[in-house]
Structures are given as C-alpha cells and as structure tokens.
Structure 1
C-alpha cells in the first residue's frame, strides 16, 4: 500500500495535508506536534511525533517547508535521504531556491530516488478548497508519478521544465505579483494627490489596460478597506522576490523588478512584526504621507 509522509503543516501545509489524506494513506509531521495532531484530528491522516523513525516504508514524501535550508535539513545527513527506500518519490511543494533544488534532485537520483519540485500559488483560500495552481519541475516519469498526489490539492498543474524549474517559476510569479501591487499602489497614491479617490482610480485601472490581480483582488479586499488580511506574509514575499532577483542577476538586466525589491525590502523596517504582504501600501503611505486605505495608521 502507498504511504505518504507529509512534512510541514503551517497555514498552507495543513489544509493541503488534510485533502491529501482523503485520497492517500498519509502520515503528517511538523516540528510543532500540536499542528500534526490538529491535522490528524480533522482528517484521515495519522500524526507522527518522531521524524527520525519515519521514511523506511514511505514511497512518497511531500515537503511543505519554509525555505531550502529546512528542506536540506529534512533530507540530508541523517535525514530522510538516508532512510527512504530506492524508488521513493520526493515532492517539494514549498518555495525553495532553484539551485538547491537542482542539487538535491541530482543527489536523490544518485540514491535511486525521484525528485519533483511543485510549488503552489493561490493562497490559503485555494489551499483549503484544493484549487491551487502548481508549477512542476522534474523528469517526465517522476512528474507523471507525482500527478495523482498533486491533483488532490491543485486544479491548474503545469509541468514547466526540469528539476528546479518549478521553484524558478514560483519565485518569478511572486516577483511579478509584488511588483504589480507596488506599481498599482504608486499609481493610486499619485492619483489621490491629484484629487482622484483611491477606489475610483482602482475602478479605472480595472476597466483599462492597467488591470491586474492586484487591482482586482488585493486592493478591494485588503488594501482599500485597510484590513491587510490576505494571510500571505510580507517576509515570505520578500524571500521569494529575493530568490527571483538573484536569478535575474544571472541575466544581468532586470531594473524594474530589482527596483521594486529594493524599495519593498527597505520599507520593511517600518511595518512592525508579521506584516501582511498587502502592507506594501503602508510602505508608500509612510514615505509620502498619503494613505489610500480607510484609516490604518501610517
């Protein structure tokens, strides 16, 4: 019988693990034992408390961990690579660094393991409904084998290229997404200075060629009301942007997105603890003295 070990049960990982457990025998683990228990209590998953005892009988491992460092620690040294049986499949669904992913995939191949990177987009709402977009990197056979697992949590699944390509696509998508929010915030801030109400300027953008997901969703739901509650962290946004900017450095010319990353990274200091990524608008408010929301403090 197929056994999946699912690691990482944060805001995204927990609902994904619950959905996966409805289709596959799933064991769940998190460094916070209460997170694993909560997923197990709400699904068919089985919580495990000792990762060191796991892996020998798992034929699939799904990772939903914060960074490449966490992935490397889980797999390398005395981690899961040392215990997984030959032929096991590792699926990294977090936002990792493409260079690290390529190295891990090559190492896994040397052990007789398959490795796929499959980061997700869509936020917590889509994670809860199983409607995530998934960008997949890896060999064709490994991707085909991973597909039934990915289909438990995603509805738009695109094989974008070899190992590391999924993580590259995810970072670049988030770079564009954040840059869109910054550009729209800049435009709406200038518009208010010239006497145009923020909601009116957003309406104009959404009826014109300046429309984006930022103006259609982020502004009406999170920025204009001043709620800033998209549930995607500003710091995670910066992490993904940083990965993409580093990638762009290899090309040698990325002035627009590079400037956006610098602006948002420098603006982070004024936002306090655990800001939402839509608080990009507050970076502009603090710099200009012009607030475009409904009364949040600068």
Structure 2
C-alpha cells in the first residue's frame, strides 16, 4: 500500500496529520523531533527522524509549512524533489505565494513529480474535525491523486484552477477576512461611542445584512470574551494579506483592502509578541480608547 509523508506539525498540521493517519499509511516529520514523536505516540502515524532516506512506498508528500521560503528550502535547496520517486505528488497545504507555487510546480514536473496547492481555511477547530475548506490548484491528474487525501481533511473542496490558483484564492480570502474583522471592529467602536454595547451591536448585526464570519464567529468566540485565542497568528494574517496585495498590484485599484492592510500593519507594533489575528479588534481599542468586550452596559461605560 502506498504511503504519505506529512511534514509540518504545528497548530494546524498536527491535527491534520492525526486525521490523515487514521485513513492512510502516514509518516510524519517535523524539524522539532518531539512534535513527530508525540504525534506518533497518540495516532496511527509513524515518526521519521530524517528526510534523507524516503521510504520506498511513499507516493505522496503533504506540506503544512509557514511560508514559501520554507517550502522552497525543503524541496529545492535541501533536495527533497530529487529524492522522491517518479510519479509522486507533493501537496502544499500551507499559505504560500502563488508565483512561487507556479515555479515549484514547473520544477516538480522536471523531476517527474506532480504538484498541487491545497491551502485550507477554517482554523484549528475544523482541522481537528476534518471539516476544513480546501482551495485546490493544479493539473487535473495531480488533483485526482490528491483527492483521497484531501477528502479526509476537508468538508468543502474546491478545484479553482491550475497550480498557484489555490494559493491565490486563499490569500485573497484571508485579505477579505481580515478586512471584515477590521470593518466590524470599526463599526462596533462607532456604535459603542454612541452608546450601544459591543455585544448588543454584534447580536443585532448578526440578524441583519451586515453580518459576516467576523461578526458571527470571531466576535462572539474571541473578541467579546477578550480571549483572542483563535489559533491563527496576526503575523500570518499579515503575511497572507501582503501576498494578496501583491496580486492586487496587477489590478491597480484596491482602495478598501489597501487601507485595511496599512491600518493593521501599522497597528502590529503595539500588540506585543505573538498576537492572535483576532487582536485586530485591539488595534481599534488602542486607537480609540473604547473596549470591544461584552458588557451589560452600553457605549464607553463598557471600558
């Protein structure tokens, strides 16, 4: 039976690899050995200490790495492309740069390999349940190879185009998501200044046409309680927004999302180390002095 190597066992990668190992023979690897060893101890996965020797039955590699630089380093600089058997398919499920993905797909083809970009959306909660939204780019035959693996991890899988298209759509999704959080925070701040408590404001918006995933999920679960613990980092959000803004340059007109990107980039410095992406709301709190937390009192009394 063919096997998979799952590389990258962070907040998202670990639960994804655990689910994958229950359905397919899976080797796991991380630059932190304890991560792969720990996952293997409580799942069906098998930990490997090195990628220097690839198990003979491996025909799929799944990557869940932070950036394109990490992907390029692993596949090209460290030579993983050269060690994989002909016909194997690499599935990059991180949020990489579309132009880098296109080049990597070309290089993979030169080595007789397939390449699929399949970034995910849904956060840690849906990674744990296998209900991620997966946005797929790649040639049809490579995507067909990847589908049995993706179906274990996602509940909504969309093939949107050739290599790089999945990463382009993912970056644009995160640009829109961050802009939605900023817009909801801005509106809630204005409402609070007028005397409407943030939790009351969000409850009403969620029954009206202004609702969004930001108002329906981010505010109730992470912002109003003041926990800011979605599991997705503010810095990764900015990285994805920057990728999307690079794509926007080809259009030459993106005033709304450009303003959001600039505002959230400028607000980053005051958030301390490793802020959660839902701390977009704290940027507004700091700039206005109005706290966006649940309260029985209205407006500025909620501070």
TM-score range, shorter chain: over 0.9
Tell me the residue number matched to 1:77: 77
Residue correspondence of structure 1 range 91-170 to structure 2 within 5 A: 91-170=91-170
SS across alignment from 1:81: helix
- Aligned partners of 2:189 and 2:55: how far apart in 1? 53
- Aligned partners of 1:78 and 1:237: how far apart in 2? 27
Are 2:224 and 1:235 equivalent residues in the alignment? no
Deviations 1:235-291 (A, max 9, x none): 111111111011111111111001101000110000001111111111011111111
Tell me the residue number matched to 2:172: 172
Deviations 1:125-153 (A, max 9, x none): 00001110000000011101100000111
What is the CA-CA distance between 1:55 and the residue it aligns to? 5.9
Gaps of 5+ in 2: 296-302
Instruction: Between 209-218 and 70-79, report the one with greater CA deviation.
Output: 70-79
Tell me the residue number matched to 2:245: 245
RMSD: 1.2
Name the TM-score, length of structure 2 as normaliser.
Answer: 0.95
Conserved 8 A contact 1:6-1:28: yes
Name the TM-score, length of structure 1 as normaliser.
Answer: 0.97
Tell me the residue number matched to 1:47: 47
- Aligned partners of 1:115 and 1:263: how far apart in 2? 36
Report runs of 4+ in structure 1 exceeding 3 Å deviation: none
Instruction: Between 283-292 and 47-56, report the one with greater CA deviation.
Output: 47-56
Deviations 1:73-132 (A, max 9, x none): 110034211111111110000000000000000111111110000000000000001110
Tell me the residue number matched to 2:219: 219
What is the CA-CA distance between 1:54 and the residue it aligns to? 2.5
SS across alignment from 2:99: helix
SS across alignment from 1:28: strand
Tell me the residue number matched to 1:5: 5
